[in-house]
Amino acid sequence: MRIIFLLVPALFLASCASSPPKNINNICAVFDQRGGFMNNWYRASLKAERKYNVPREVLLATIRVESGFDGDARPPRKKKFFGLLPGKHISTAYGYSQALDGTWQRYKTETGNWGAKRGDFADAIDFVGWHHVLSHKENGVALDDTYRLYLNYYLGHAGYRRGAYKGDASLERTARKAERLAGEYKSQMNSCGR
């Protein structure tokens, strides 16, 4: 009997782990894997869509491209001391949204969501919606234009206005990937009734 009392909390904690879903290219499968009582990504995505009027497929594609749905995602580290010791991360980006420290702090200040964590999916998708609305307000990008919203997201609003993406074939490919994924996610959600 004592083993059961120890095993139940351990199983509960293991189910809350932030390892990414297995099939991140199928949003219905992602929702199925994260549909439990304590971690319902479907509801979080629906709430963010309604709050910001940004289609869920755009929000989800942004997170997919940024972190691969990995709540612990971080950018690579710089090599230090001839590669013998780990260096610092090349950026402060962290979590599902890969939000930078300063932008995350601005989000918390402007939304009043002081307890928000970048490793929490509901907070991260809310952040993405908030950022996409800023892209709409500051740069006139349509809320369903995944390609341009992603460029704003990656470069920041000033970088987008400067056209920093022009000539950056890699970044443009990544923005097209986000656009393609949003289309696939929309089709998948329609087919699975989500």
Integer Cα distance of 83 and 172 in angstroms:
31
The CATH number given to whatever domain includes residue 70 is: 1.10.530.10
Q: Which two tokens stand for residue 169?
A: 């074939």
Comparing CA positions, the residue from 14, 22, 34, 61 lying closest to residue 188 is: 61
* Residue entry with tokens 């439990």: 36
- Other beta carbons within 10 angstroms of residue 114's beta carbon come to 7
Question: What is the extent of the structural domain holding 10?
Answer: 2-192
How does pLDDT run across 112-142, given as a tens digit for each residue?
Answer: 999 999 999 999 999 999 999 999 999 999 9
How does pLDDT run across 72-88, given as a tens digit for each residue?
Answer: 998 876 655 555 555 55
E strand or H helix at 79: strand 77-80
On the question of pLDDT at 191 being above 80, the answer is yes
Are 99 and 93 a contacting pair, CB within 8 Å?
Answer: yes
On the question of pLDDT at 182 being above 80, the answer is yes
Task: Report the number of distinct structural domains present in the chain.
Answer: 1
pLDDT of residue 85: 53
How does pLDDT run across 28-37, given as a tens digit for each residue?
Answer: 999 988 875 4
Global pTM reads 0.84
The residue among 8 and 164 whose pLDDT is bigger is 164
Are 47 and 56 a contacting pair, CB within 8 Å?
Answer: no
E strand or H helix at 80: strand 77-80
On the question of pLDDT at 8 being above 50, the answer is no
Integer Cα distance of 107 and 41 in angstroms:
20
Integer Cα distance of 177 and 165 in angstroms:
15
Give the percent of the chain with pLDDT over 90. Answer: 70
Q: Average pLDDT for residues 58-81, to the nearest whole number?
A: 86
Comparing 14-23, 61-70, 155-164, 171-180, which segment has the lowest mean pLDDT? 14-23
Rg of the Cα atoms in the chain:
18
Q: Which residues of 128-147 are buried (b: 16+ CB within 10 A; e: fewer)?
A: bbbbbbbbbeeeebebebbb
